[in-house]
Amino acid sequence: MIEIHPNQQIVFANEIVPVVVQAGSSEAGKELAARTAEVIFTAWQTIEEAQAFYADVKGRMAKYGRSPDELKIMPGVFPIIGATEEEAEEKKQLFEELIPEEAGVALLSAMISVDLSGYPVDGPLPDLPELEHINGGKSRFTLLKDLAERENLTIRQLYQKTAGARGHREIKGTPEQIADQLQEWFENGAADGFNIMPPYLPGGLEDFVDQVIPELQKRGLFRTEYTEDTLRGNLGLNRPANTLVNTIKETV
């Protein structure tokens, strides 16, 4: 409770206002994001899926009196960077070999809410339950099921493809090829930006900063300096009105 005495002023520090981030792509999640979120952390494997999600969520915002610019959609990406395509492929294979089979199966089982421990790891996914019977992340279940069917993946191949990126999009190649893939999504209504998920730290992040960022800057797709001193400012998000102040004024 805030007590206000005569002639007393309330001072609210002009400090950082946290950015509201929502994660998830279910119907309930999309509606929540359209109404309240300023950033969405989401996962998509294809540009077509990402474009459909982007248009869907942004199209819901008007009914809440919000502009599409008030929400930044930022899918996760897992970049594997090499000086050549061959080097990037070698890194990918090395990362996959580091995943213990038992850990990979357990992780995939948890992600799709189905116990896969009794199935041949080099065989396909078993017949999976209908979506409405999944007691877990429904959007991630759908994403991984569709990925396995689209690319005809075994259980091993599926956990290798998702253990590092956790179902997010894996992008692989030279710095120029990585920039090409990010640019395609950014310029074609699939993303406002990206959450970079390096395969290892700190080296994977350093590779992205030192090799991919300069390429994006050269293309005019990434800032060369920061003009704001907060995450909110650098995301291009407006500072929300202080509704607490208005509420207090009305009750004084």
For residue range 164-197, what is the model confidence (pLDDT) as tens digits? 888 899 999 999 999 999 999 999 999 999 999 9
Average pLDDT over residues 119-126: 95
**pLDDT tier, 137 (very low <50, low <70, confident <90, very high otherwise):** confident
- Prediction pTM value: 0.79
Q: Which amino acid is at 114?
A: V
Task: Say how far apart CA 250 and CA 183 lie, in whole Å.
Answer: 48
Cβ atoms of 219 and 190 within 8 Å: the answer is no
Buried b (16+ CB within 10 A) or exposed e, 215-234: bbeeeeeeeeeeeeeeebee
Q: What is the distance between the alpha carbons of residues 216 and 227, in angstroms, rounded to a whole number?
A: 18
CA distance linking residue 138 with residue 133, whole number of Å:
9
Parallel, antiparallel, or unpaired for β 195-196 and 39-42? unpaired
pLDDT at residue number 6: 47
Which residues are CB-contacts of 7 (< 8 A; sequence separation ≥ 6)? none
86 phi and psi angles, rounded to 5 deg: -65, -40
Q: Give the closest residue to 105 by CA, choosing from 85, 88, 119.
A: 119
Interval 65-81 mean pLDDT: 97
Tell me: pLDDT of 42 over 90.
yes
**With bands split at pLDDT 50, 70 and 90, how would you rate the model's confidence at 212?**
very high
Mean pLDDT for the chain overall:
89
The domains of the chain are located at 1-8+17-78+172-252
Which residue carries 């199935």 as its tokens?
Answer: 119
Q: What is the pLDDT of residue 62?
A: 97
pLDDT at 204: 96
Q: Among residues of the chain, what percentage have pLDDT more than 90?
A: 74
pLDDT of 2 > 80? The answer is no
Architecture of domain 1-8+17-78+172-252: Alpha-Beta Barrel (3.20)
Q: E-assigned strands of 14-125?
A: 21-23, 39-42, 72-81
- Dump pLDDT digits (tens) for 84-103: 999 999 999 999 999 999 99
